[in-house]
Structure 1
Amino acid sequence: MEALRQLLDSLPTPAPEIILTGDFNFPFLKWPERILTGSTSTEKSQAKLLLDIINSSFLVQVINEPTRGKNIIDLLFINNSDAIDSISAEKTIYSDHNLLRIFTNYRKTMLPPTVTSRTEKNPFSSLNFFSSQVNWERINDQM
């Protein structure tokens, strides 16, 4: 958690748009209420640290349906709620976690290809700078 805090604290001001997602594995942290239930003191301190980090970075957790069993443990934090178009959690045969399908409002800008021309011409001999070091006669004799 401390590495996450350092990473977020190192971002320039104003902060860029942040999308942070992963399996945080806090089944005892209930979303969206942010209520801690039935956790050990170590788990509780880690969860409180996470909540402190997201609060200080102005992040909001937006997954509101179970991602594993009845728990929301795969989380998505953002600092711009307009960035997310839709989210769904779907069962999959590949994992005991539901598959999160997250669609953003970001669109890839297609730039035209850059065309460059080379004005300098290289002779073919300069392409193989080891050519003069090869014993071509010996190679030819061995063939």
Structure 2
Amino acid sequence: MKHKVEMKWLGNLAYKSEMDGHTLITDATVQVGGDGKGVSPKKLMLTALAGCTGIDMALILKKMRVEVEDIKVSVEGELTEEKPSYYKNMHVIYEFFGKELLHQKIERAVKLSEEEYCGVSALYKQVISVTSEIIYHED
């Protein structure tokens, strides 16, 4: 299977892509010469990891019949100082909200996502350190 993404130039540093019926605009910040009309392409790497593992988490927890009120997935990435700058590491923070959360099953779901299902994580781990932590918010 192959995926293809096409970007249409909108002028200056902005581009637009139509994917799966959704529009995505990327642009650079005003500080570097862009117009700030869209999201940073580099930060989309963090979004890809959060989205991939987030989808896995929801699917795995549903199959396990684990109920949570909410899930928040944050990804922090540290950039190198040299040019071209790139993420030298990423840290995923999983937050689960609810009553009487089943910690053991949630931790199993996180492990399954990180080690078997999330293709974005698998790719990133080949070239950088990807760490994670779980935070529980129980009523």
TM superposition score normalised by structure 1: 0.23
Name the larger-Rg structure: 1
Answer 1 or 2: which has greater helix percent: 2
TM superposition score normalised by structure 2: 0.23
Answer 1 or 2: which has greater strand percent: 2
